[in-house]
Structure 1
Amino acid sequence: MTRFSAAYLVRRLAVAYATLLVVMTVLFVLLRAMPGTFVSAMTTPGMTGAQVARLEAAWGVHDPLWVQYLRFLLNYQTGRFGWSPTMHAPVADVLARRLPRTLILFGAAFLACYVVGPLIGMVLGWYRDARGGTLALAVSLFVYATPVFWVAWLLVWLFDHHLGWLPSAHMVAQFPPFALAPVPVTVDFLRHLALPLLSVVAIGWVGATLLVRPAMRDAARSDFVHLARAKGLRERTVLFKHAGRNALVPVTTSAAIALAFLVDGAVVTETVFSWPGMGQLIVTAVLDRDYPLAQAAFFLIAVVVVAVRLCLDIAYTYLDPRVSFGGREP
């Protein structure tokens, strides 16, 4: 029986779309709940009444609320996010420049966390009676409780201020002492990427480890593991191919939540390291009261999280053969 079901995929897409509608509604309500009108933050003391009236007419603040809501939904679903009064540019253009930088940093961090973390969890769960297992678990819990900003500042002090090995600010050198050739620019970018990436991965891997470890302990006692050993398979094959795949199921279900926390940490990480991505953009937009930009940035992050969650839902059915795309056991 095939495990693919177009109906299931359509349902998941409908749930993802409904989630984004809820996000857009919440953003609309929060924006209209602010004191004053939507454009009050964009006005300056030197503006005349006619200029303020034209600005309010351009944003349609005096239209009926339901008209504003429908226009808001239509604009956001077609990528028309308005104009940024602080950046003096269309919001979509600003987001198009910033989003890839955040995706590079936290996409790499997400992949690293969910490669390193599950591998460590598999080993700790498989060799559960080995010497040092309790110590490794205690160290993992200590790291997991460490604030992200503290780790970031510690890395800045150690590798930049003390050792001088790696830069701790910006995405590339502001005044590069080298020719703008592909190889030097790439090396310089990777050096700037190292510290913010390390600060996120240093804590992010523990969540996957703590999930995989008990699942791996249960899998190690399962009948299919004993059967694989009875067939004469190598210990490494039994560990990673049979028991490991089964232990990855709970990690897949939690990966979307972990991604949300990673994105939430983008505000802290990008601010500490002056990484010009979405996190730093949100902080700047909120402080400057650039509500169109801040609102669209929050929405775009929600789109990324929902899209990844959809992909993980599909990946879950691959990792667990007992689950079909239609939600029924084959």
Structure 2
Amino acid sequence: MSDFRRFLVKRTAISAVLTLVAISVIFVVLRLLPGSPFSALIATGNLTPAQAQEIMAKYGLNQSIWVQYVKYIQNLLTFQFGYSIRRSQPVWAILGPKLLNTLILLIPALITTAILSSLLGMYAGWNRGSGVEKGSIVITTFLRSTPVFITAIFLLIVFGYQFGLVPTFGMRSLTASPDGLIETYLSLDFLKHYILPFTVAVLYYSGDFLLLARNGVVEQKGSSFLKLHKAKGLTEAEQLLRAGRNSMLPILTYFALRLGMVFQGLILLEVVFAWPGIGRLLVVAIRQQDYPLIQAAVFIMALAVIVMNLLADSAYEYFDPTVSGSGGGV
């Protein structure tokens, strides 16, 4: 077995263990929460204790903790999420559209900022000490260190409430009734609701990509291979292109990690804009102690992060032999 394959097997095994640990923690934490999914309903008189016990039996919540745990692991690993306790609907039917809304918001934002910020970072790194470098670093660092909900609220007040240029909440107008994916996600009404949360997400992601690209080009600019290309008569633009290409691996790796975290949504962003995504759904589900919905949502989030970490580590190991000496590729 080659070094890279050995590395891949080891990392896959570690990822499997991490997945098991993550879903076990979810199970334990939910059972440690005070009350039950029916406490509020019983307190308001909407549900009797006898009815609550009947529903708990239906969902297997009256069984021993170990029986619940075994069934829980089996169901999650086979993606059988069951029914929501509070909504009486299949979890997939609730979770699927919310996850799609999150991905439609954040994946384009992530791709846009990865491209634009990386290009700006490469230019800034090549022109070290210039006004472009100093300005871009100060601005993006400020945006990255500012909590996303602060940026969201500020832009919402300015462009939503003060100037009335964009809607202030939701993914569509209350009177809109789109039919199909095209009308839902490509209508003018959707785009009006989309532009502000999309802009906040782009601003939030921009700092990391810019700094990674800038630092990569700064390191490459003083390298011997670039001096050789300069001696061969390559123009400055051609040198920058080669320096940028050689600094792409950390950027692509970070992009993969961020892509996994997209499945979590930007919870505070979704809450501020009332965006019907998976992050906002999770907040509501936790408040209602809807176990099946919480378990499914957190499992998908954790699995996405772990899988993308595995892919990023594997790519880094394969394309950069200096990481551990194994190297599998170029």
- Counterpart CA distance in 2 for 1:292 and 1:183 is 31
Q: Deviations over 1:122-147 (max 9, x none)?
A: 11111103345333322232222222
Q: Does 1:152 align with 2:152?
A: yes
Match of 1:222 in 2: 223
TM-score (ref. length: structure 2): 0.84
Structure 1 segment 276-295 matched on structure 2, within 5 A: 276-295=276-295
- Counterpart CA distance in 1 for 2:317 and 2:204 is 28
Gap change, CA 1:161 and 1:180, over 3 Å in 2: farther
Higher mean C-alpha deviation, range 190-199 or range 158-167: 158-167
Q: Does 1:191 align with 2:199?
A: no
Structure 1 segment 36-47 matched on structure 2, within 5 A: 36=35, 45=45, 47=47
- Counterpart CA distance in 1 for 2:98 and 2:248 is 32
Q: Deviations over 1:2-53 (max 9, x none)?
A: x995554444433332221111110011112223567656756454554333
Higher mean C-alpha deviation, range 154-163 or range 23-32: 154-163
Query: The residue matched to 2:194 in structure 1 has which SS?
Result: helix
| Aligned residues of 1:252 and 1:316 also touching (Cα < 8 A) | no
| Aligned residues of 1:102 and 1:278 also touching (Cα < 8 A) | yes
Structure 1 position 72, deviation (Å): 0.7
Q: Which amino acid aligns with 1:22?
A: V
Structure 1 position 297, deviation (Å): 1.4
Q: Deviations over 1:187-207 (max 9, x none)?
A: 422332211110011121111
TM-score (ref. length: structure 1): 0.84
Match of 1:76 in 2: 76
Paired residues, what number?
327
Q: Which amino acid aligns with 2:21?
A: V
Q: Which runs of 5+ in 1 are unaligned?
A: none
Match of 2:27 in 1: 28
| Aligned residues of 1:109 and 1:201 also touching (Cα < 8 A) | yes
Match of 1:207 in 2: 208
Q: Which amino acid aligns with 1:211?
A: L
- Counterpart CA distance in 2 for 1:308 and 1:257 is 6
Gap change, CA 1:128 and 1:94, over 3 Å in 2: same
- Counterpart CA distance in 1 for 2:267 and 2:122 is 31
Gap change, CA 1:279 and 1:226, over 3 Å in 2: same
Higher mean C-alpha deviation, range 194-203 or range 158-167: 158-167
Structure 1 segment 247-262 matched on structure 2, within 5 A: 247-255=247-255, 258-259=258-259
Gap change, CA 1:166 and 1:323, over 3 Å in 2: same
Higher mean C-alpha deviation, range 180-189 or range 159-168: 180-189
Q: Which amino acid aligns with 2:26?
A: L
Gap change, CA 1:302 and 1:138, over 3 Å in 2: same
Q: Which amino acid aligns with 2:199?
A: L
Match of 1:91 in 2: 91
- Counterpart CA distance in 1 for 2:159 and 2:193 is 11
Structure 1 segment 1-330 matched on structure 2, within 5 A: 7-36=6-35, 45=45, 47-176=47-176, 186-188=186-188, 189-240=190-241, 242-255=242-255, 258-259=258-259, 266-317=266-317, 320=320, 327=327
Query: The residue matched to 1:79 in structure 2 has which SS?
Result: coil
- Counterpart CA distance in 2 for 1:129 and 1:100 is 42
Q: CA RMSD in A?
A: 3.3
Q: Which runs of 5+ in 2 are unaligned?
A: none
